[in-house]
Structure formats: structure tokens, C-alpha cells
């Protein structure tokens, strides 16, 4: 089995190192990842300047581009053989609810899926990893078992990736796996008004507080209860229900 790994936290991120350890028992692992953090890069492609891959070792490349650039470059140019799976992560922080629309981690898996390869995005819904990585380190073993299961399924739903969030507990305390839907995230005070050194208005996007809402089977509830959350995400954003109910909102001009 050939597995391509990428992420949006950069090639030297601790989460990616953990993912390498979790995936290595399963097959031949290659890493193609951005040379710096690209969190919230979403599914962007670098179109206006070239991207340069640099080989770090036999099976690891860093690219001065986005997560999407990395997966495209890996599959189309760098790897001698097409991977059987693309796995992105482990992101430093959750990717639940609307996060998935901004996430570079999810986008790398989307790119794998766009290229016709079953793909998973993995995020650790824990706190600041710069202070303490022990909780994530303890999740390598359960994650490896989960990946062994996910890579041996008899079939994969078409145009669908698995968005996986790991709960902020130590490996032995994970209660199990729940299949979930996306919750809703509400940010408060996420625009911080500031002054630049010349007294002009600037804004820092980020920070503030996050609240969640959603149904019983939402991703954030699974995480709060100590379960691994797996949300199947469709690349086809078409709202089928809206199309079938078109009489309620559309009139011929
Ligand atoms: Mg990130």
C-alpha cells in the first residue's frame, strides 16, 4: 500500500510526525507538505508564480506552496507511483463545522479525492501543541488502528472524503468512534481592532471565543464526549433538496 501524507501546518509540524508514525506500519509512506504553515489556506492553488519542491530525504519533499499544490505536485510529478490513499494532518486544532471550509488540512484531502484517490483529513481537537504534545503522542497507536481499518474497507463512497477529528484526551481514554455530521460554529469577537505604528486602523483576524451548536450527532458533541468523530464530506456541494423543492423559491423570469 502506498500512502501520501500532507498537511497545512508545514513539513516540520509535530502532528505530521505523529501521522508518519501512525501510517508507517500500514505501507510505504511518502510526505509532500508545505515548507511553512498554511492553515486556513483552504483549497487555494498557486497560479501566479512557480512552486519549487525540495527533497529532504528519500521519501519527503517540502514545497513552497499550498496544501493543494503539494498533493497535486506529489501525484502528478514527484511520486514514482500513484498513491492508494492521501491522508492529511494531523492538524494542530479541530476542523469541525464551518472550519472545513477554511481548512488547508481538509483541502489537501479534497485534492486527493479530486484526483480520484480515497482521502482522509485528520485533526487533533486539542489545545496548544507548542506547550505539550504528550496527549497527541499517545494517540498514535489508536490512530494507526483506525487507519488500518479505514484503508481496508471494501468500498469508498464516491466523491466523499472522511473528515476525522481526534478528541483531546490521552490515547487510552478514547471511548470509540462516532459517525457524525458537521455542527455549527459561532465565533465571537474574532476581529481584533488595532493600530499600526503610524496610528492607522488595522484588524487581526482570529482569536475571540468559539461556541458550537448542532444536532445530537454533530462532530463537536462526539469530541466533547471523548469519541473520535468521522464526518463524511461530499465534494459535490449541490443542495439536492433545494433542487427538488424549487417551486418554493424559484419562478421563471
Ligand atoms: Mg493547521
Indicate the helix (H) or strand (E) that contains 146: helix 140-150
Residues lining ion ligand 1 (Cβ < 5 A) are 8-9, 39, 91
Model pLDDT, residue 148 = 98
Question: Which tens digits make up the pLDDT trace of 138-152?
Answer: 999 999 999 999 999
pTM here is 0.94
- SS3 percent helix, strand, coil of the chain, rounded to 5, is 30, 30, 40
Distance 91 CA to ligand 1 centre (A): 5
Distance 189 CA to ligand 1 centre (A): 21
Distance CA 139, CA 50 (A): 37
Distance CA 77, CA 116 (A): 16
* Grid cell 474574532 in the structure block, residue: 190
Positions of the chain with pLDDT under 70: 127-128, 130-131
Distance 234 CA to ligand 1 centre (A): 21
Nearest to 179 by CA among 146, 152, 213: 146
Structural domains of the chain ordered from first start? 2-182+215-248 (3.40.1210.10)
Amino acid at each position: 500500500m502506498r500512502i501520501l501524507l500532507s498537511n497545512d501546518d508545514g513539513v516540520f509540524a509535530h502532528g505530521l510526525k505523529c501521522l508518519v508514525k501512525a501510517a508507517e506500519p500500514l505501507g510505504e509512506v511518502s510526505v509532500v507538505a508545505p515548507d511553512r504553515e498554511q492553515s486556513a489556506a483552504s483549497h487555494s492553488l498557486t497560479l501566479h508564480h512557480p512552486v519549487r519542491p525540495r527533497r529532504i530525504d528519500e521519501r519527503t519533499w517540502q514545497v513552497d506552496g499550498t496544501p493543494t499544490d503539494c498533493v497535486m505536485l506529489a501525484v502528478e510529478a514527484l511520486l514514482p507511483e500513484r498513491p492508494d490513499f492521501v491522508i492529511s494532518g494531523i492538524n494542530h486544532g479541530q476542523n469541525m463545522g464551518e472550519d472545513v471550509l477554511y481548512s488547508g488540512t481538509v483541502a489537501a484531502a479534497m485534492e486527493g479525492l479530486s484526483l480520484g484517490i480515497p482521502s482522509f483529513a485528520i485533526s487533533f481537537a486539542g489545545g496548544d501543541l507548542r506547550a505539550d504534545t504528550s496527549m497527541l503522542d499517545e494517540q498514535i497507536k489508536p490512530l494507526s488502528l483506525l487507519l488500518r481499518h479505514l484503508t481496508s474497507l471494501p468500498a469508498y463512497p464516491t466523491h466523499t472524503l472522511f473528515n476525522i477529528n481526534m478528541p483531546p484526551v490521552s490515547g487510552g481514554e478514547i471511548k470509540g468512534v462516532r459517525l457524525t455530521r458537521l455542527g455549527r460554529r459561532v465565533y465571537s469577537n474574532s476581529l481584533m481592532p488595532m493600530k499600526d505604528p503610524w496610528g492607522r486602523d488595522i484588524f487581526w483576524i482570529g482569536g475571540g471565543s468559539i461556541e458550537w451548536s448542532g444536532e445530537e450527532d454533530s462532530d463537536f458533541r462526539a469530541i466533547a464526549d471523548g469519541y473520535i468523530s468521522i464526518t463524511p464530506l461530499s465534494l459535490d456541494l449541490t443542495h439536492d433538496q433545494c433542487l427538488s423543492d424549487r417551486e418554493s423559491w424559484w419562478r421563471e423570469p
